[in-house]
Chains A and B, each alone.
Chain A
């Protein structure tokens, strides 16, 4: 039971992923906070450029296509489409670098 050769899950099976299958409510709260931070950056850029009568193609496209944090469904906020997973959804925290990428849209119908 104790000692260096005890039977543990990583020893007997090799790799053991310890990422829980769902987010905790604190992870969700921090995730919403990050989404809003990106929204703030976008709105700052937009208002600053609009004062000079400017805009950029990329900014216009983001505003047209990307939903803001308030507009997003909980399903899209906390899960992401994956064709290999049963029922086609996995937690967003399984996405590599998920705290530093913008993943807001999913295929329609899934």
Chain B
């Protein structure tokens, strides 16, 4: 199911109250927040209302807040050494990781 990934780039401060209301309805409270909405005429109409303020891309799957945060997290730069037996135990508990 395709989704619109909508990111608020410009704030609606000083613009008509309607655009603030549309942003609120889309779930965009602060700049640089990203929300996912299914591709539909309703959402397209809402985006049309605030097209100067947002960045829109079409994606196949919607990410949760936690998944988006995990994508932003940089590589820690280290890994934790384990004994071979510990790795084997972990693999038995969760075979696919």
Contact = CB atoms under 8 A, between A and B. Distances in A.
Interface of A: 34, 37-38, 40-42, 44-45, 47-49, 51-52, 54-56, 58-59, 62, 97, 99-102
B62 interface: no
A102 B51 contact: yes
Given A56-B41, A97-B15, A100-B10, A45 B55 contact: no
B48 interface: yes
Contacts, number: 56
Interface residues of B, number: 21
Interface of B: 2, 4, 10, 12, 14-15, 39-41, 44-45, 47-48, 51-58
Contacts of A54: 40-41
Q: Would you call the interface of chain A mostly helix, strand, loop, or mixed?
A: helix
Given A44-B58, A48-B4, A48-B58, A102 B44 contact: no
A46 to B, nearest CB: 9
Contact of A44 (B10, B40, B57): B57
Contact of B45 (A34, A51, A56): A56
Nearest to B5: A44
B8 to A, nearest CB: 12
